[in-house]
Chains A and B, each alone.
Chain A
């Protein structure tokens, strides 16, 4: 099993550009999440989904959008990138158990 796969691993964006961070899981998990991790700030929830077609905002949704058209995929869209969005982004999924399975992350720098 691949688990949770995130692409790309690294990206540099210019201010005002847009991009989509891809996330795919092959565990048939209903719950999927996007977090950002900043130094000393822990993991902050951006958006989450409890199943295909259902998404909701987390703590820090501004500047981001998501969609969940299939169980497997949960892409995160950044519109009009800003330096404040420089961070490491983690996608995670969860089945009926407690634990999250995280992807390996996307390191994004906005310059």
Chain B
């Protein structure tokens, strides 16, 4: 069983839609969770990070963690064509340890 599972998509939505991106994981010790955005032919860039359970909001982006279900989500409100990218989740039990990445979900926002 993979440490982190992420639906690769592709996901295609109209501009202005709410986007939901999700990851599941198997290791109950994970408590640090991150979301990265990767544009084509670029390196991933950190979007959001959360510790333990709960929600975190930053502008149009909201990250949710449900540790009881081993499930994390990233919501994008009022999606824009500039949000078109691959989104990767990453998680770890401890910041000193390796972070495990999902395979990424490809998102296209259509104008």
Contact = CB atoms under 8 A, between A and B. Distances in A.
B63 interface: no
B41 to A, nearest CB: 8
B49 A99 contact: yes
A102 B96 CA distance: 17
Contact of A99 (B34, B43, B101): B34
Given A45-B98, A98-B49, A105 B104 contact: no
Interface in B22-36: 32, 34, 36
B43 A41 contact: no
Given A104-B43, A105-B43, A58 B98 contact: yes
Interface in B94-111: 95-96, 98-99, 101-104
A99 B58 CA distance: 15
Given A98-B32, A98-B95, A43 B49 contact: no
B65 to A, nearest CB: 13
Interface string A78-107: 000000000000101000001111111100
Contacts of A103: 43
Interface string B80-96: 00000000101000011
B43 A102 contact: yes
Nearest to A45: B98
21 contacts: A35-B101, A40-B103, A41-B103, A42-B103, A42-B104, A45-B98, A48-B98, A50-B96, A58-B98, A59-B98, A90-B44, A98-B49, A99-B34, A100-B44, A100-B46, A100-B90, A100-B99, A101-B46, A104-B42, A105-B42, A105-B43
